[in-house]
Structure 1
Amino acid sequence: MNPIKISSFRRTMRLFALIIAEIIVLSLFMFGQTPEAAQAYGGRTPGSVVAFYYPWYDQRDPKVWNRGLMSSLPSPIYDSRDANALRGHMDKARAAGIDAFAVTWNGSTGDWADRFKTMLNSASGGFKLTVHYETTLSDTSVNGTINNLRFIRDNYMSSLNYLRYEGKPVLFFWRPDAVGDMSVWQNIRNQVDPNHEQLWSTDAIDTTPLSVFDGIHLFSAAKWDNNPVGKDQQFRNDVNNYQARTGQRRYWLAGVTPGYDDRKLRSPGEFRDREGGSYYQRSWQAAISSTPDLITISTWNEWYEGSSIEPGEQWGNQYVDMTRQYAQQYKGTLKMFGESSIMKVWSHTDLLVDNGAVPRTWLWGPENFAMYREPYNEGPGGSRIVYYFDKSRMEITRPTTDPNGQWFVTNGLLVREMMRGKIQVGDNPNAEQNKGAANIPVAGDFQNNPNSPTFASMAGVASLAADKRVDNKNGQLVLSTMAANGQVGENAGFTQYNVRYNAYVNETGHNIASPFWDFFQQSGPIWENARVTNANVIDWVFAMGFPISEAYWTTIKVGGKDMKVLVQAFERRIMTFTPDNPDGFKVEMGNVGRQYHLWRYGK
C-alpha cells in the first residue's frame, strides 16, 4: 500500500472534520462551559503517553525517503523491515517517557502485521504496543471488521507487551464511519467485546461515538488552532458531562503535535509552523492542563505529513528531549510499570522516595522487577496480569469494575500463601495449588541467614485458618522471641526498647506492636492528583492486610551482619523493626515480593 495515497485521503477527511470541530467548540464556549477535572479515588489515574507510529518505510519503494516529497528526513534514515531499527525506535521513545506506540495496522497478514508482531515480541523495559486500526485501509465490511478485531483480541492482547490502561487493553481507531454508523459499530462491539473488557478510542469531533467507543482522541491534536488550550479543555468537559449524564466511564485522550507540513506532497498543502519547538511546547501545555486520561503524540514518524518528533535532520533530538521533559511533568516520573493503575498505587507513597524528596522506607520498592500472566479463575479468560515489586505483588483481577475503587488494584496475600504452602488461584478458598511452605527467611538476607525464622517455621504461630487467636494485650511489653525453627521464648532484655502492644485486631485475633501501629498512622508528603500533598501515608489494611501473628524478637543477617529485629507477620507483608537503624528506616517491610517470586518461580 502506498503511504502517499493513504496520507492524501486521510488529510481530506481530517480537514473537513477539523472545520466542523472548530464550529462546535466555539459554540460550546459561547454557552459558558467551565473546566471540570475528573477525580478518582486516591487521585486520578496517571496517564500514559502514546505516540502514533508508521511501519511503512520500506526501501524497496523508490518513493521512500524522497526529499521531493518530505519537508525533512529522519537522522539516520532506516528501513521498517529492519528489526534492529524498530527496537531502536522503541528504546529511544521509552527513554523519552513515551509508554507505547500505536502502530498503524490494516489486517492480519502483510508487512505491517509482520512488523507489528516483531515490535510486540521485542519490546522491553516496560514499553508497550497497541494497534491503530486504519479502517479505510482494511476490509470495511462488517464481517471483515469483526474478523480483524477478533484477530487483534486473540493474537495480540494477551501479550504482556500490549498496552493496557486501568486494566484494559487499548485499541485506537481511525475513521470508523468508513465501516458504518454507530448502530453498525454497536453490533460489531457486541460481537467482539460485549462486556467492554477493552478500551476503544476513536478520532472524533464530538462525543457521539461514546455510545459505543470508550474514549475519544484528536489525531490532529487541534493543530488548526494557534492556542489549543481551550479546545482540549472543552473536550475534557464534554467527556466529563457525558460521564455524568450516563454514569459510564469514558476517556479523554488529548493529542500533542510538533507541527505539520505536507506542501511538498500536495498542492496547495497544509502547514502548521513548528516555531522552533514553541508550538510543540504549547501543545503539551494545553494537553496537560486538560487533565487527560492519556496523551497521544501525532506523530513519532509520519514524515510525509511533517509531524514527526523522532530525530530529524533539521532538529536533531530537540523534540525527543522536549517529550522527555513534558512526559515527566504529566506522569510525575519517567518510570514505566506497564499499567497506569499500578503506577497510581506506587506513586502515592514511593514516587517521593524515588526522587529523594522524602527520607523514608519503600512501601513497594523502586520498580516492578517482573510481570506475568498468572492463572486466576475470576480474571479475564481465567488469568490476570500481576506485577512483582520488592515488597509486594500488585494485580488487577477485574478490569471491568470501577477503576477508582480502592480494591481495583490489590496486592497479594503472599505471606499467607508462603506460610500455608498453597498458591491461591481463585476467590474460592479451595481454588489453590499445593506448593509446600516456603523455607525462606522471613527477613534479611535470603541466604546464609541461619538464625532467622522462615515462613514455614513461623507458620506454627500464624492464624491461617481462623485459629490461634490471642487475647488483647494492649499496653503490654513485647518480649517474646522466636528461634529459626519457630520455637517461641521470652527475653526480658528487650525491655530496653520499650516496645508495647497498642492495638488489637478482632478480625484475626492479634495485637499490633507499637512501632508498626505508629508507622501505619504516620502522616506526611504523598503524591496525589499529580502533586505533592500531606495526608496519611499508608492505608495499612490495603497494603499490609490484618496481622496473622504476634510480634517476635529474633536475630537476622542483613548484608551479612547479625541484627536484633522485631518481626510480625501480616497477611500481605512481614513488618520489621530494627532499633539500631537510622530514623525513617527503623520500621521496614521484608522483601516479600522477592521472597514469593523465589518460592514460586525458583528465581
Structure 2
Amino acid sequence: MARFRRKTCITLTVLILFIFVVIVILKSLRPEGSGFGNPFGLGLFPHLRKAEGGQIQPQLRRDMDGTNGKVRSEERASELEAALGQYPAPNYNLHVFYYTWFGTPQFDGKYIHWDHPILPHWDPKVAAGYPKGRHSPPEDIGANFYPALGAYSSRDPSTVEAHMQQIRTAAVGVLAISWYPPGMKDDNGETTDEIVPLILDVAHKYQVKVVFHIEPYKGRDDLSMYNSVKYIMERYGEHPAFYRHKTSSGKLLPLFYVYDSYLLSSEKWTSLLKDTGRHSVRNTPFDGLFIALLVEEKHKKDILAAGFDGMYTYFATNGFSYGSSHSNWRTIKSFCDSNNLMFIPSIGPGYMDTSVRPWNFQNTRNRINGKYYETAFSAALEARADIISVTSFNEWHEGTQIEKAIPKTAGQTKYQDYLPHKSDAYLEITRKWAEKFDKEREKWLV
C-alpha cells in the first residue's frame, strides 16, 4: 500500500513538471502584447490579470514614479478637447429650458411623464366632448412629436450624454434645469433633485453650464425660497458646471429663473430680495440674479418693486400673454433698461399640446418648417435681449422641443415631425442664430 502511494506521488510530480514545462514553452512562443488570456487561467480575475502581460507591466512601473497618472490625464484631456472641437463654441448668453422628469421601467420602475394624463377642459360641457384617461408608452406617449431617442429615462447616463451632445451642436451654453426641492415633485412625476449631480457632471464634460429654474413647489414663500437657494448653493455651487453671470459691475453671480413668481406678492418677495428683508439673500453667500416670470403688463412694476434682477417670458406661443408677444419686447426692454433690470425673452420653435390638452387648438403655433422659430429669434435680437432663453429643449408635452424628433406612426396616431428637414433641424437653426446673437452683442457693446 505504501509502495502504491509512493508510486502515485512520483507519477503526479512528473505530470505536474511536464505541464509546467509545456506552459513555459507555450508562453515563450506567445507574441509579446498579444490578446490571449493568461495561461494560468487568471482571466477570471481581472485585478490579477493586470499584474501580468507585456502591455500592463510597464504601465504599473510608470505609476510607481508618479508620472503615469499625469500622462493618462493629459491624454484624456487631449482626446476630449479633440472631440469637443467638432462642436461650435457654446454661447453662454443662450439658455435652454431642460426637463428631467421622464422615466422608463428599466431605470425608474415605471414610465414617468410619457404616460401623461389627458387633461380635462375646465368647462364640464366642453370636457365631455374629448377623450379621457392617460397615454400608454412606449408607442403612445403624451406628446404630438416622437423623440429620436424613444421614450427615454432622464436618469439614463447615455440619454444625458446624447442630450449634451445635441445642446453643444446647437451652440447653447447654458441649460436651465426644472427644479423642485428634495422630496418634492410636479403633479404627474417623481422627485428629480437626485438627478442634478449627473446633469452637472455630463454638462461639465461638454463645457455646458447649468442654472436652476425654480418651480412653484408647494409652500414656496420667502423663507422656503431662502432655504432652497441656500441648499442649491451649498450642494451644487462649487461644481464647475454651475453657472455664474458676469454683471456690469464685474461680479460673478448665480442666476435663478423663478417660474410663476407672480403667485407670491411683491411684499413677500422683498423679504428675500431687498437688503432690508427679513430673509434677505443680498450681500450674503447666497446672493444672485433672480429672474421673474413676466406674464401680464402689470407684472413689470410688481417685478421691479419686489427686488428682482430681471424678467423672462417663458411661453413659446406668440400672443398667448403680454410677455410672450414679440410685439411688446422692445417696450419691455426699454422698461428694463430704465430700471437696471435684465430682459430675457423666451423664444420657441412652435407650440402644440393637443396630445395632453386635446381642446387647446387655439394656442397651437405651427413651426412653418422653422420660420416661426427664426421669427422669434429675430424679434429677440431686435429687442437687444441681454440673454435669450429657448423654450424648450425637451418639453415634449407642449411641443416646444428642439431635441431631435423622428417621423412615427403608432396605431391611429401619426406623430408630427420636422420633415422636410432632418431630425436635427432645430439644433442647426439654433446654432445659426447663436452665432448671429454673438455678432450682434459685439456691436451693442462697442
Question: For this structure pair, what is the TM-score category when the shorter chain's length is used for normalisation?
Answer: 0.5 to 0.7
1:252 equivalent in alignment to 2:343: yes
1:210 equivalent in alignment to 2:307: no
Q: Classify the secondary structure of the residue corresponding to 2:254.
A: strand
The aligned amino acid for 2:294 is A
* Cα deviation 1:515-542 (Å, max 9, x = unaligned): xxxxxxxxxxxx5427xx8xxxxxxxxx
Matched with 1:79 is: 153
Give 1:125 deviation, angstroms. Answer: 3.7
CA distance in structure 1 between the aligned counterparts of 2:94 and 2:308, rounded to whole angstroms: 20
- Cα distance change on mapping 1:62 and 1:120 into 2, 3 Å: closer
* Cα deviation 1:295-333 (Å, max 9, x = unaligned): 000000000111101111112111000000001110139
Matched with 1:172 is: 257
Match of 2:266 among 182, 185, 191: 182
Match of 2:435 among 317, 321, 328: 328
The aligned amino acid for 1:276 is N
Matched with 1:96 is: 170
Q: Is the 8 A contact 1:47 1:295 kept in 2?
A: no
CA distance in structure 2 between the aligned counterparts of 1:199 and 1:144, rounded to whole angstroms: 17
Computing the radius of gyration from Cα coordinates, the structure with the larger value is 2
Q: Classify the secondary structure of the residue corresponding to 2:228.
A: helix
Give 1:229 deviation, angstroms. Answer: 4.2
* Cα deviation 1:454-507 (Å, max 9, x = unaligned): xxxxxxxxxxxxxxxxxxxxxxxxxxxxxxxxxxxxxxxxxxxxxxxxxxxxxx
- Cα distance change on mapping 1:84 and 1:109 into 2, 3 Å: farther
The aligned amino acid for 1:327 is A
CA distance in structure 2 between the aligned counterparts of 1:240 and 1:250, rounded to whole angstroms: 6
The aligned amino acid for 2:262 is D
Q: Is the 8 A contact 2:100 2:177 kept in 1?
A: yes
Match of 2:219 among 122, 136, 139: 139
Give 1:108 deviation, angstroms. Answer: 2.9
The aligned amino acid for 2:333 is R
Q: Classify the secondary structure of the residue corresponding to 1:165.
A: strand
Q: Is the 8 A contact 2:102 2:113 kept in 1?
A: no
Matched with 1:529 is: 444
CA distance in structure 2 between the aligned counterparts of 1:71 and 1:187, rounded to whole angstroms: 42
Greater mean deviation of Cα atoms: 137-146 or 96-105: 137-146
The aligned amino acid for 1:213 is F
* Cα deviation 1:414-445 (Å, max 9, x = unaligned): xxxxxxxxxxxxxxxxxxxxxxxxxxxxxxxx
Q: How does 1:97-112 map to 2 (within 5 A)?
A: 97-109=171-183, 111-112=191-192
Q: Classify the secondary structure of the residue corresponding to 1:161.
A: coil
1:127 equivalent in alignment to 2:208: yes
Matched with 1:232 is: 329
Match of 1:273 among 366, 372, 375: 366
The aligned amino acid for 1:184 is K
TM-score under structure 2 length normalisation: 0.60
The aligned amino acid for 1:51 is V
Give 1:224 deviation, angstroms. Answer: 2.2
Q: How does 1:489-500 map to 2 (within 5 A)?
A: none
Q: Is the 8 A contact 1:52 1:104 kept in 2?
A: yes
CA distance in structure 2 between the aligned counterparts of 1:76 and 1:193, rounded to whole angstroms: 41
Number of matched residues?
286
Give 1:87 deviation, angstroms. Answer: 2.5
Q: Is the 8 A contact 2:318 2:326 kept in 1?
A: no
- Cα distance change on mapping 1:168 and 1:222 into 2, 3 Å: farther
CA distance in structure 1 between the aligned counterparts of 2:288 and 2:175, rounded to whole angstroms: 17
CA distance in structure 1 between the aligned counterparts of 2:280 and 2:235, rounded to whole angstroms: 13
CA distance in structure 1 between the aligned counterparts of 2:354 and 2:386, rounded to whole angstroms: 33
Q: Is the 8 A contact 1:210 1:216 kept in 2?
A: no
Q: Is the 8 A contact 2:262 2:293 kept in 1?
A: no
* Cα deviation 1:332-388 (Å, max 9, x = unaligned): 39xxxxxxxxxx9xxxxxxxxxxxxxxxxxxxxxxxxxxxxxxxxxxxxxxxxxxxx
CA distance in structure 1 between the aligned counterparts of 2:243 and 2:393, rounded to whole angstroms: 17
Question: Structure with the greater relative contact order (CA < 8 A, sep ≥ 6): 1 or 2?
Answer: 2
CA distance in structure 1 between the aligned counterparts of 2:163 and 2:381, rounded to whole angstroms: 24
Give 1:90 deviation, angstroms. Answer: 1.8
CA distance in structure 1 between the aligned counterparts of 2:370 and 2:221, rounded to whole angstroms: 42
1:115 equivalent in alignment to 2:205: no
Matched with 2:425 is: 318
Matched with 2:98 is: 53
Identity of aligned residues (%): 20
The aligned amino acid for 1:93 is I
Matched with 2:354 is: 263
Q: Is the 8 A contact 1:229 1:285 kept in 2?
A: no
Matched with 1:372 is: none
| Structure 2 unaligned spans of 5+ | 1-90, 105-109, 116-136, 185-190, 247-251, 407-416
CA distance in structure 1 between the aligned counterparts of 2:164 and 2:114, rounded to whole angstroms: 21
1:302 equivalent in alignment to 2:382: no
The aligned amino acid for 1:258 is P
Q: Is the 8 A contact 1:105 1:112 kept in 2?
A: yes
CA distance in structure 2 between the aligned counterparts of 1:80 and 1:156, rounded to whole angstroms: 19
Give 1:176 deviation, angstroms. Answer: 2.2
Give 1:230 deviation, angstroms. Answer: 2.2
Extract structure 1 runs of 4+ deviating beyond 6 A.
Answer: none
TM-score under structure 1 length normalisation: 0.45
The aligned amino acid for 2:328 is K
Q: Is the 8 A contact 1:133 1:174 kept in 2?
A: yes
CA distance in structure 2 between the aligned counterparts of 1:118 and 1:239, rounded to whole angstroms: 35
Q: Is the 8 A contact 2:164 2:202 kept in 1?
A: no
Q: Classify the secondary structure of the residue corresponding to 1:292.
A: coil
Match of 1:193 among 264, 277, 281: 281
Q: Classify the secondary structure of the residue corresponding to 2:319.
A: coil
- Cα distance change on mapping 1:310 and 1:285 into 2, 3 Å: same
Give 1:88 deviation, angstroms. Answer: 2.2
**Higher percent of residues as strand:** 1
Matched with 2:75 is: none
Q: Classify the secondary structure of the residue corresponding to 2:230.
A: helix
CA distance in structure 1 between the aligned counterparts of 2:112 and 2:239, rounded to whole angstroms: 35
CA distance in structure 2 between the aligned counterparts of 1:83 and 1:68, rounded to whole angstroms: 21
- Cα distance change on mapping 1:142 and 1:528 into 2, 3 Å: closer
The aligned amino acid for 1:168 is L
Give 1:109 deviation, angstroms. Answer: 4.3
The aligned amino acid for 1:74 is P
CA distance in structure 1 between the aligned counterparts of 2:163 and 2:97, rounded to whole angstroms: 12
